[in-house]
A and B are shown apart, each in its own frame.
Chain A
Amino acid sequence: MTHSLHREGSLESLEREYVLFIYPARGFNYKGSAPKVRRMVELLYQAGPVNMIPTSLRRNMYSGVTPEEILESITVEGTRVYSVFNDREKLKKALILLKKADEGISIMVSGVTDRVREIAAELGIEPHMVNLSLGIHGRTDRLAPADIREFTTMCGHGVVSPHLVKDMLRRVKTGKVSEWDGSVLLAEPCTCGIYNPYRSSELLREKAPLYTVDRW
């Protein structure tokens, strides 16, 4: 699953956003992983993610679920955790805490490679592998416009619909919903919890003036 790899947008916008995964490996460190993952999530909370979902409870941070419910759900071996940070220093804090805890579970960070390289160097972490996005190929003429993809590619599984983004732009533009509330609604279909409502809110504010509205 490479669903955080192809996020589109300006470099400035991408530089502020980091996706962090906690990922036990089946057959290698699954057994005994649940309490370790739970402790790692407790550490993530200290760093302040803007969204997070464990696979044991696929409800994002804006669904009304409490941190206690999220932690209590992590009882299943192999539970994975997906989270997003919208600040370099918060990601750094998370990595400092996770490095110190040294639970032995794989951690992935998606973000601008140069920034991740800097952070790793500052913390004395030696990354093991990089997964590069070599772009979109085939009938790219059938894709939603690039500015809509800045929203939809925050959900790599493709369940944040371009039509919903356009509908939300219309609702924001006509004052029916705020940028934040619209972004929380856009985040809901993404069951991995890596849709960043803060970035989405900025994008709605930025894009709404560019769209004309034909349905009030």
Chain B
Amino acid sequence: MNMQLISKRRFQTSLFYLAVILFLIVVLLPIYYIFLTAFAPSGKLFTVPLTYVPRSLATARFQDIFGALPIARYMLNSTLLATFSTILALTVSLLAAYAIARLNFPGANMVMIGLLASSMLPGTATVIPLFQMYQTLKLMDTLHGLLILYGSALLPITTWVLVSFLRQVPVEIEDAAKVDGASFFQLLWRIVLPVIRPGVATMFLINFIIGWNEFFTPLIFARGAGVKVITMALSEAQVIGARSEFDVSWGNMSAVAILTTIPVFIITLIFQRQIVEGITSGVFK
């Protein structure tokens, strides 16, 4: 055997694993650091140099933030908004996607391009009139008002992805069902939906994550404690027990960051494959 070739290959392999390890460290270390901050006993938070392997963990900060802020309510609101905006957006997008992919009507392309173009309109370029509209229509500080805006943001990409999923599915099964005299909604519910279930499930997961992570919309349209969401608790937790304007509680902030992040991490780790498929199908098809 050629010793030189073997040692060259070995060198390349170790270089490759070095790159993998470096990548894992860059991604995971900041997340670990937030975790460490959230659970650090109060005396151990500010140390130079940092201690990366803690001797003990404390949950006092979680008790503090649950005591000082309506965290459970915020998390409930986030869950409600993310879930229902996703369901609503998927329902109306599925109807539109079916029409676009199957009914071959004049204007179908116009609707697709119009949706894409409208998704390019920046949120900041629509927020001021929406704010004024919401004040006039008494939609400020209401969950249904927020739901309308959360759902709206999801529509263009959801419709696009569902159209692309529908176009990959053969029409023949639907034609057979039509011959059997199925009504339109029977057709949609019994035939179309089961066939494109992977696409719907994927968009459900992605849209839920987007809704859960939303910040700009509630910042403007949710000001009362009853409708606030978990992402808004980050800045509120920083000032719990603050002695001055410059006194920032990084421990409390990190505890909220952990609470905000755990649900999306669980979803992402369980449904990794589906999420990747959803991300790529929005781009390629």
- Tell me, yes or no, whether A binds B: no
